[in-house]
Amino acid sequence: MRVKASALFRTTFGVAPAAGASAPGRVNLIGEHTDYNGGPVLPVALGARTTVVAGPADSGLLEIVSTRDGQLARIDYRENPAGGWGWGAYVAGVLRELVAAGVALPGGARVAVASDVPIGAGLSSSAALTVATAKALATLARVPLSARQIAGIAFRAEHDHVGVRCGIMDQTIAALATPGHALLIECASAETRQIPFRGRLLLVDTGVRHELATGALNRRRTECEAAVARLQLELPELMWLAAWPAAWLGRLKRALPEPLRSRAVHVVGETARTRFGAQLLARGRLKQFGQLLYESHESCRRLYECSAPELDLVVAAAKRAGALGARLSGAGWGGTALVLVDRKREARITAAVRRAFHRAYGREPPITVARASGGVRRESVR
């Protein structure tokens, strides 16, 4: 990706880039829709990465191009995108946040992007883009930023400027990931802990795409906020839905009408599953951890209603074939299912999922093998 991005920069702008960085996509092992509810998540970074190379501009504008379409766009990043600019809104949001943080790029910037993180597949292509952009532009400006600072800038770019009501998970794992580890993130406090993860994952791309900035994700977040407001009548100090005591689940059910009840029950249960899952991984108990993945998917399907028929089919087929665990990943409503396998059964499970999907939908889904990889890094542009 580094070579492709640099070549595109030279072709488009007639000069070599001056700085570069890359950041990974991610898959969340467990902890679905807990991040923006103040709960824990347990993602790993993927080998697929987005590379951003950058150079100075003299137009005062943000000039961007991607290998995806090769079209040059010039953006006045100081303006409000008002739902426009496409993927350029993410890059513009990062530049606005950097300027607000005192990073000086008075002439604007030129940016070229290359990526092998699938878009809309629930693997956080947007966070890979914003984190890599923040690192590349900070490097261009010769301003050292910590990984946590980069994660914060990338989060605010997507949340405040693009308008996606995301949590902090995607940007945090893209910035802080360590090879061979999952990252337990307590989203209310932003505390993190590296958890050894030696598991082998199959990522099954259903081909069903979703747009996050509008629609179901934002509706679910609104429902969770409404649930917290009602539950504060029972527990005034409650700040986050994930902080509701699991032992008081009956009280929660009595206090909330549907669909708020189901949304809240999922969040409280998923919070407990995620923390227990981190303990199991730390002890190397992949089989027990895999069972939690199945439980998580069922909760997402039945209570949070964020699955899709294609995802349900993949999980069911993987379970029949002997997978350790499987679940949807990403926000849901399409995208990618993850399947936890041991090496001996990998080929059999892969074939079984492909057959089942082909019977139902007339096509075989792309399936890739993934291991836990590292986070954002500088890239040579020579």
12-26, 164-178, 328-342: range with highest mean pLDDT:
12-26
- Dump pLDDT digits (tens) for 216-234: 888 999 999 999 999 999 9
% the chain with pLDDT above 90: 85
- DSSP per-residue codes, 102-129: T---TTEEEEEEEE-SPTTSSS-HHHHH
Tell me, yes or no, if 76 is annotated catalytic.
no
Number of H helices, E strands in the chain: 11, 13
Helix (H, G, I), strand (E, B) or coil at 336: strand
* Rounded distance between C-alpha atoms, residue 328 and residue 324, angstroms: 14
Q: How far apart are the first and last CA of the chain?
A: 13
Residue 23's contacts (CB-CB under 8 Å, 6 or more residues apart) are: 49, 50, 127, 128, 129, 131, 132, 135, 174, 175, 375, 376, 377
pLDDT of residue 85: 80
In angstroms, the Cα distances linking 97 to 23, 150, 152 are 18, 10, 9
**Is the Cβ–Cβ distance between 13 and 61 less than 8 Å?**
no
The band of 352, judged by pLDDT with boundaries at 50, 70 and 90, is very high
Q: What is the pLDDT of residue 213?
A: 39
In this model, does residue 164 exceed pLDDT 90? no
Q: What share of the chain is helix, strand, coil (3-state, %, to 5)?
A: 45, 20, 35
Q: Which of 170, 205, 312, 342 is catalytic?
A: 170
CATH class of 202-370: alpha beta
The mean pLDDT value of the chain amounts to 94
Which residue is associated with the tokens 């991040």? 35
Report, as an integer, the average pLDDT of 228-244: 97
pLDDT bin (cut points 50, 70, 90) of residue 214 is: low
Mean predicted confidence (pLDDT) in 353-362: 98
pLDDT tens string 56-111: 999 889 999 999 989 899 998 888 765 668 899 999 999 999 999 999 898 999 99
Angle among Cα 74, 90, 217 to the nearest 5 degrees reads 140
Nearest residue to 93 via CA among 19, 23, 163: 163
Sign of torsion over alpha carbons 292, 205, 152, 236? negative
The tokens for 236 are 């005034």
Quote the pTM value. 0.92
Phi, psi of 381 (to 5 degrees): -115, 15
